[in-house]
Chains A and B, each alone.
Chain A
Amino acid sequence: MIGFCLSDPHPDRAGDGSPIRTLSAARFYGRYRLVDFMLSNMVNSKIFSIAMILNSHYQSLIEHIGMGKEWDLARKSGGVTFFPPYYADERRSVNSELDGPLQRAAVFLSEKKEDYVVLADSSVVYNMNYRTAFEAHRKSGADVTAIYTKKSIMPGERENTVVFTISEEGQVTGIGQAPLNTDTINVSLGAYIMHKRTFIQLTAGERNCGMFRFSRVLLADALERLNVQAYEFKGYSAHICSVETFFHYNLDVLDIDKRNSLFDFEGRRIFTNIWDSLPTKYGKQADIKNSIVADGCRIEGTVINSVICRNVKIAAGAVVKNCVLQDDTIVENGASLDCIITDRSVKISENRKMIGYRTYPVYIERGRVI
């Protein structure tokens, strides 16, 4: 099997709120990026050849993955192959249309000896062995196996969520948007298994396409001629598609059952790149409850219900509640934060107070000093 990763262009200011980074490079659980889950799932399913279609602002994603060493993907054969957009004709001006990376990826696929493709969305977080879904795919004789989970979604997620209608025989008969006011629905994980021929046919004529378009347009249009079988995933999953979902799901995994379903589940680890940060040091006055803290932090103040990423400093007398503080954030003495997301290298000066709301977290851009 070959892994194939599509990512969506960010619908608003990207998943980690940052307008300058692609969604799959957003932070999750203190030290991970969203893409780590997709890559780890591939590797844990013994898929060591992965194609990644890049859209825009992919610099930090490439920096993060590099040669793929930390995912055991730095290999002589296989590994990660990037498909960035570029100009089809070098003489064209900057304003001309971009060549479609999908067309080049189709050539790449057809030259590979592997027959099957696992298509995955790098902005969905879960821990799964694709091999079991692949077994089901082969047994059912389906053209496409679509992986989904039964759950309810938060209101802000609705327009980015793909929902399946599934027949009693387990066939996907409809692909659409989530209805208003519903409880549990069949939510697509953006993961599909199919023969590479099917994938190439489905995407023929596309220059580039995100996961959303693939599901809602390309696959939806083909439902009449293709046998698309549904495969249920029963673990925890989170689709990060906006500032609100980024905030909600980061704090959601403070729940131990959800954490356990994501990390080391059935022995499947989630890999990420290594920084060699120092251990985190807590001071004499540190007061910390119900929080996740990555390495490299210095914590002297109060932290409640929060996710603290690497190398964050929180001074004595500072209070951090319901926050996601990303790498290198500094919170000075007497500052108070509630429902705040900080991007990298944000500094909250002495005695500053900022309050967002659970359903409307305030996002502070990279490098800002408050």
Chain B
Amino acid sequence: MITERKECIAMLLAGGRGSRLKALTEQVAKPAVTFGGKYKIIDFPLTNCVRSGIDTVGVMTQYQPLLLHDYIGKGQHWDLDRLHGGVSSLPPHSKPDSTAWYSGTANAVYQNQNFIDNFAPEYVLVLAGDHVYKMNYNTMLDYHKSVDAACTIAVIEVPMKDASRFGILNTAPDDSVVEFEEKPENPKNNLASMGIYIFSWHILKEYLNKDEQDPNSKHDFGGDILPTMLKDGQRLFAYRFDGYWKDVGTEESLWQANMDLLDDLHLGFEDWHILSKSAGRPPHYIAPTGSIKSTLITEGCEIYGSVENSILSGGVIVEEGAVVKDCVIMENSRICKNATVTYSILDEDTVIPEGVTAGVSREDGGKLNVYSQHDTSLETTKGGQAK
């Protein structure tokens, strides 16, 4: 059944737990983690799709999908509620001959071949759900077509010292890929894969099916599909991206990416501001006792205390005498009277009780702390220093 032919559709990998985010992803999948005050991480790839003219997106979910499904809805917040296509949530499901979880990134796409074939696309864009960036996929698709590639991989130059944390592509002068190294100890260059791939669908489909038969495969794009394609002499090309891009897969990188917004609010330009589901709260209020410096604040907040160098999400209350510094605070958290919180991430609905000091400042050599609503350390240390 072909509903309507699409040239290119996107498949978004949103099933991962993001275990390096620890407590922040206990209740929600990584793509549903709050970012920049009023966004979820998944807003970035979804907005990029819409802005790039890609109106069909399959979101493959698995870990804690309820909130994510609810957030995505019918796609209305990104103008993705379409008559044909739009956004579809794709959790693993039972089929006549199998019932299986998604066992790897490639396997997730493999299990959704029918969904893809419904649109009979020529190209499939595979996206990760844990990156913050603005990118026109359409320009990348034009490049993919112009070099007649089987697969195009978006790459970004990272500092050489960080290169060993990424999948590194070694390329020929024409940017064709000659070697693919996953987290190499001694990287030969600094072109890091951004986890964004465009495949010609008929070729990818062949490799997905082949890979599925391989008992030694982990069914992963970076680890299995791409190396196999390269070995077979398929045309793999690197597509260079030079904008802002940040992997927010760890607590530290999530904090840093939030803080980056204070230097450069790269979330919006006239024609490419990030779309999101809004809670529709009233504007924020700063009391006569409140003070705010170098901070990003959004709707529903009430500030009676002092806030500096921080990112506050919707509905956060900072009570009188409270001090917030170098923090990323998620929805509906409350910093009670005379409490102090520094260099920390506060998960949704976290309460810092009256008089408590949480976190150690960066200047004093403190390490990033993450507090969540179930954190018992906060309750027991009333009036003192939390862990």
Contacts and interface: CB of A to CB of B under 8 A. Distances in A.
Contacts of B262: 281
Nearest to B289: A289
Contact of B286 (A69, A259, A293): A293
Contacts, number: 89
B268 A278 contact: yes
A31 B283 contact: yes
Given A288-B290, A293-B284, A294-B283, A279 B298 contact: yes
A270 B283 CA distance: 12
Contacts of B243: none
B265 interface: yes
Chain B contact-residue range equals: 20 to 34
Contacts of B283: 29-31, 292-295, 308
Interface in A13-53: 29-32
Interface string A265-288: 000011110101011111111111
B285 interface: yes
A345 interface: no
A289 B288 contact: yes
A289 B275 CA distance: 30
Contacts of A157: none
Interface residues of A, number: 34
A360 B371 CA distance: 50
A335 B141 CA distance: 48
B296 A279 contact: yes
B297 interface: yes
Interface in B125-143: none
A290 interface: yes
Interface in A195-239: none
A254 B286 CA distance: 10
A284 B293 CA distance: 5
A193 B283 CA distance: 32
Contacts of A280: 284, 296-298
Contact of A276 (B76, B265, B275, B294): B275
B283 to A, nearest CB: 4
B219 interface: no
B287 interface: yes
29 contacts: A31-B299, A32-B282, A263-B282, A270-B282, A274-B280, A276-B275, A276-B278, A278-B265, A278-B268, A279-B37, A279-B296, A279-B298, A279-B312, A280-B297, A280-B298, A281-B265, A282-B293, A284-B293, A288-B292, A289-B287, A289-B290, A290-B287, A290-B288, A291-B285, A291-B286, A292-B282, A292-B284, A293-B284, A308-B283
Interface of B: 36-38, 76, 262, 265, 267-268, 273-276, 278, 280, 282-288, 290-299, 311-312
